[in-house]
């Protein structure tokens, strides 16, 4: 089944679970501009929209330089222009087309990223690129391979590559894996399976890399108001049938990401920080399970 069709079906299923009471809006705070990441340089995969884009924006506001990746060059360029416009900072945002499922090309792509960063050493990796879908009831082999290659294989081998770079250059950096509340749920899809695996990989990487001064953690959102779940754009009413009563906002996830990769988060090692609004933590009833 095509990923787009899966998204449409999933959204309709979730909508059926909601019992509208009143319009729901989010009253959240964003981190102010700071020096929390001053002098740092982050490589963020899947940084052209949604959570990845908001993390890039938050990192730059905190003083970092970012290199964002995406499969489509035009989308990457547009995201970089938008980031610079919104943050008002020149020379802190770079972008490149990169398909992280092509493992053999990774060393060349990473060298390109380092060249973009210039005299700054990349010391933060955010594994954010991902695909949803792959319900066991109608998943095709092609869908399965695309989801697993993007969410898991790409994350595994890019982490391997960057970890070697950190160790060889004595960089006490950070790897942040973007997980999901799905890693707390019964695994009935290729997507959910990959997020279970990323949860385990995060702990494994943290165990073997902590002695080198490399901090590895994960950040697991619940249903979030992004183009992935809202292809038609974020609505004014973001009601959702979880304990929070609404979708999370990408900026909320980005706030926590800044903390986790900053010096303030050094004592957090091997954790998956669940920002799920209760999804998968205290309720499973906000999604539909069937064959």
Residues designated catalytic: 191
Question: Which stretch of DSSP H or E encloses residue 73?
Answer: helix 73-87
Q: Which of 64, 11, 72, 65 is nearest to 46 (CA)?
A: 72
Report angle CA 270, 272, 277 to the nearest 5 degrees: 165
The tokens of 68 are what?
Answer: 């964002």
Q: Which of 238, 268, 269 is nearest to 251 (CA)?
A: 238
Judge whether 126 and 42 are in contact, CB under 8 Å.
yes
Question: What are the backbone dihedrals phi and psi of residue 47, each rounded to the nearest 5 degrees, phi first?
Answer: -100, 15
Distance CA 278, CA 247 (A): 11
Question: Which segments within the chain are labelled E, that is strand?
Answer: 41-44, 65-70, 93-97, 124-127, 174-178, 215-221, 272-275
Q: What is the DSSP letter of 121?
A: P
> Max CA-CA distance within the chain?
56
């Amino acid at each position: 089944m095509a990923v787009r069709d899966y998204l449409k079906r999933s959204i309709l299923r979730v909508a059926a679970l909601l019992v509208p009471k009143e319009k729901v809006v989010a009253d959240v705070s964003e981190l102010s501009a700071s020096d929390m990441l001053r002098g740092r340089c982050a490589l963020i995969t899947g940084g052209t929209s949604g959570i990845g884009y908001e993390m890039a924006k938050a990192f730059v506001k905190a003083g970092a330089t970012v290199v964002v990746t995406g499969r489509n060059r035009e989308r990457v360029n547009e995201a970089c222009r938008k980031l610079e416009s919104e943050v008002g900072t020149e020379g802190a945002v770079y972008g490149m087309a990169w398909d992280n499922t092509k493992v053999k090309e990774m060393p060349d792509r990473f060298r390109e990223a380092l060249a973009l960063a210039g005299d700054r050493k990349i010391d933060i990796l955010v594994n954010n690129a991902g695909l949803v879908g792959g319900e066991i009831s109608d998943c095709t082999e092609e869908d399965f391979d695309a989801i697993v290659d993007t969410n898991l294989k790409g994350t595994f081998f890019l982490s391997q590559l960057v970890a070697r770079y950190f160790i060889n250059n004595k960089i006490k950096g950070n790897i942040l894996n973007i997980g999901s509340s799905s890693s707390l749920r019964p695994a009935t899809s290729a997507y959910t399976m990959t997020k279970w695996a990323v949860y385990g990989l995060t702990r494994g990487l943290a165990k073997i890399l902590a002695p080198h001064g490399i901090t590895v953690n994960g950040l697991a959102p619940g249903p979030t108001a992004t183009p992935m779940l809202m292809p038609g754009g974020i609505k004014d009413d973001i009601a959702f049938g979880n304990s929070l009563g609404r979708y999370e906002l990408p900026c909320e996830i980005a706030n926590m990401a800044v903390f986790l990769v900053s010096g303030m988060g050094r004592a957090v090692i091997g954790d998956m920080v669940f920002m799920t609004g209760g999804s998968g933590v205290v309720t499973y009833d906000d999604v539909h399970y069937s064959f």
